Chain A
Amino acid sequence: MEDLLAARFQMAMSLGFHIIFACVGIAMPLLMVIAEGRWLKTGDKTYLTLAKRWSKGTAIMFAVGAVSGTVLSFELGLLWPTFMAYAGPIIGMPFSLEGLAFFIEAIFLGIYLYGWERVPRKIHWLSGVMVLLGGMFSGIFVVTANAWMNTPTGFTIVDGKVTNIDPIAAMLNPSSFTQALHMTLAAFLAVAFAVAGIHAYFLRRDPNNQFHRKAFAISLCVGGVVAILQPISGDLSAKRLAKYQPIKLAAMEGQWETERGAPLRIGGIPDEEAEVTRYALEIPKALSFLANFDPNSEIMGLKDVPKENRPPVAIVHFAFQIMVACGIVMIITGILGGWLAWKKKGLPTQTWYLRLVTFCSPLGFIAIEAGWTVTEVGRQPWIIYNFMKTKDAVTSMPNLMIPFIGFTILYIFLSVVVVILLRRQIFYE
């Protein structure tokens, strides 16, 4: 049992660490390509400086993302060999495609970072586009594999053995589209707001700095647009959950009873002993409406499944609330920015607004971590939903606390160094 817990912690920690760097690798190329594109179009050197400065931070983050991603691909076998022996072939398709996309990303990142003086300008810009596409698709494919764990399709079980594998059907499982869309938007959202927040901080001190104004404009535009799109994708995800993983949705909402016209709960503390959620602000019938477009539709409650098949409700519920709260703040900030810009016919650089954007800079990443907690913890006790339990997938290797603690120390060390180095890039150069 203790080994199982250590394995889960190690996986969660590795994923939680990697995802931040992976998102930067996906989203920063978009900002750099926009900046460099503006330079090519207008000839304004500030944009060139901007693209170069951004690429330095990206280089640090990408390297950490690449090596921590390698760790994850091995950990699948180091920690969950039974799962991989079972699922490897079924989800091999998205993983192979991911490998390909990541290869493209790594190749063109080399050209992008070190090829400023070596390749023609247009080719350089196109390399940036390739990095963007490679990063985006590699993220999409990996999420697709995860989506399969939530809604496994594309195989049949005969006498306890996996047969009739259809890798394409497995890849196009019911959760793939909504999960991949939500995650990709989240990556752009989190990174754009983080970047906008940093430049907003400098604009407060030096409001006429052209470099920071341009950086702020690009990142806020990207962040604002994505912030408005993200709730739509969130809604699609919730509807998918209601249909395919009703217990996960019930845990997110702290919904114990199966009922028609279920309320949406804001806040509240789920009590797993007493099987109630207390102190929540309840909006009548809102959950039924959001899940099925029908205020009187039936929502499945946690009590419908035996206790041993329920996820840890409180963690999932809290994580979901955190994700939504962060999202709402970013949506408001995005809309507000658009409105201020429209009124002012220029960049919204009011001090209070810059403060607000700076406040928002970590929110996207907090939301990503919380969102993954919802997805992963909400799937428990299953590793493959309704097919294989996590406890049956873990390795027979003993003493898993040792690698868990080892990787934790390693990743804390790396986090500290990355923060110090990013500060150097941002403040001193």
Chain B
Amino acid sequence: MGLELYLAIIMLISLILYMLTGGADFGGGVWDLFAIGARGKTQRDIIHHALAPIWEANHVWLIVIIVLLFVAFPVAFATIGTALHIPLTLMLVGIVLRGTAFVFRTYDDQSERVHLRWSRLFAIASIITPIMLGITLGAIASGTIHANPETGQVQTDFISSWFAPFPFAIGFFTLTICTLLAAVYLTLETDDTSIQDDFRLRAIIAAISVGILAGMSYLLSAEGAPLIQAGLGKSKWSIPFHIVTGLVAILGIWSIWHRYFKLARILIPIQVTLIILGWGLAQYPYLIAPNLTFSNTAAPESVLKPVLIIIIIGGLVLIPAFWYLYSVFKGRSLTK
């Protein structure tokens, strides 16, 4: 196995961690928008307290992914930056507005009117960002970005690869995954059973939406991302893999339904992990189908080796630190 595959695996793990942590933060933003009625204020407060200490650290997983992409697969980075300039720019606007609106809300005038205005912005940005992230990933998977593997020069236009049904389906799929994760996590952020029930209901709706969009994405992939569809069924472990994913999903909904929230908090992240892993495996060996593979865009070994060493040493510092952050602020909801 070439060194570049180790880096690809680390990037995929980072993407999974980003979805499980940062993705849930976006989901929290979505539920902020739906926090209306008598318990709306309490719901918003819970979402706020859940996110405040950790969202910035969670966000760094995205930076890890992007840095590893341009260090290890520079040509692919150039291609993505060119062909997907528009959705990526919109995603950045979302990232900027989400983060700043969240902090501004904390430190601005605490009157209901001002608070609500920042909340709206925070929520809308939390919706746009994961959709754009999903559209980007969907476009990468679609196999419509033609590029020169030597230079990264894009030979297709700047719109058609992402402005299509399949990438949009993946965009909304990503959004529903975020909302599902958030709703499940939030059930454990409170002892108030009526609030728990609110998030339980939201989690069930989100879980069903995830199922529907997964199906839609699969159907659209026949035309929108044929290589992925072929990849999803290409080897003999494919079918068992999908069956396991489906079973975990069903168990997840079951545990939410029966209010086994601690169990759901384990099952739903596993489901999301399996979905992303399945995509990664289906996509292999392409980084950006159909021209760019992991091996033909990889940086030379003299670059990859020191980066891997940095990641290993860095991980030894980072993972305990990240864990400590979570144990300080999420200790209660993780062990309860």
Contact of B77 with A397 in the complex, beta carbons under 8 Å: no
Report if A387 contacts B (CB, 8 A). no
Contact of A414 with B78 in the complex, beta carbons under 8 Å: no
Tell me the minimal C-beta distance from A16 to chain B in angstroms. 15
Chain A residues with CB under 8 A of B97: 410
Which listed segment binds A: B198-206, B229-237, B304-312? B304-312
Chain B residues with CB under 8 A of A60: 103-104, 107
Bound form: Cα–Cα A407–B94 in Å: 12
Chain A residues with CB under 8 A of B317: 100, 104
Chain A residues with CB under 8 A of B310: 93, 96-97, 100
* B interface footprint on A263-295 (CB within 8 Å = 1, 0 otherwise): 000000000000000000000000000000000
Chain A interface bracket (under 10, 10 to 19, 20 to 34, 35 or more):
35 or more
Contact of B77 with A66 in the complex, beta carbons under 8 Å: no
Chain A residue with Cβ nearest B308: A96
Chain B residues with CB under 8 A of A97: 310, 314
CB proximity to B under 8 Å, residues A76-129: 76-79, 81-82, 84-90, 92-93, 95-100, 102-104, 106-111, 113-115, 118-119
Contact of B328 with A76 in the complex, beta carbons under 8 Å: no
Chain B residues with CB under 8 A of A46: none
Bound form: Cα–Cα A90–B95 in Å: 28
Chain A residues with CB under 8 A of B169: none
Contact of A165 among B57, B67, B88, B302 (CB under 8 A): B302
Contact of A74 with B92 in the complex, beta carbons under 8 Å: yes
* A interface footprint on B84-119 (CB within 8 Å = 1, 0 otherwise): 010011001101111110111011110000000000
Chain A residues with CB under 8 A of B329: 110, 114-115, 118
Contact of A396 with B82 in the complex, beta carbons under 8 Å: yes
Contact of B59 among A56, A70, A77, A114 (CB under 8 A): A70
Chain A residues with CB under 8 A of B66: 73-74, 77
Contact of B96 among A67, A87, A96 (CB under 8 A): A67
15 further contact pairs, Cβ within 8 A, besides A67-B99, A95-B70, A106-B59: A59-B107, A66-B59, A67-B59, A77-B77, A84-B70, A84-B74, A85-B151, A89-B71, A93-B307, A96-B67, A103-B314, A110-B329, A111-B325, A165-B300, A424-B107
Query: A residues within 8 Å of B by Cβ?
Result: 56, 59-60, 62-64, 66-71, 73-74, 76-79, 81-82, 84-90, 92-93, 95-100, 102-104, 106-111, 113-115, 118-119, 130, 163-168, 395-398, 403, 406-407, 410, 414, 417, 420-421, 424-425
22 contacts between A and B (CB under 8 A): A59-B103, A69-B63, A71-B96, A76-B70, A77-B70, A77-B77, A77-B78, A81-B152, A82-B78, A88-B70, A92-B72, A92-B299, A95-B71, A96-B307, A97-B310, A106-B59, A107-B322, A110-B57, A115-B53, A119-B328, A163-B300, A167-B302
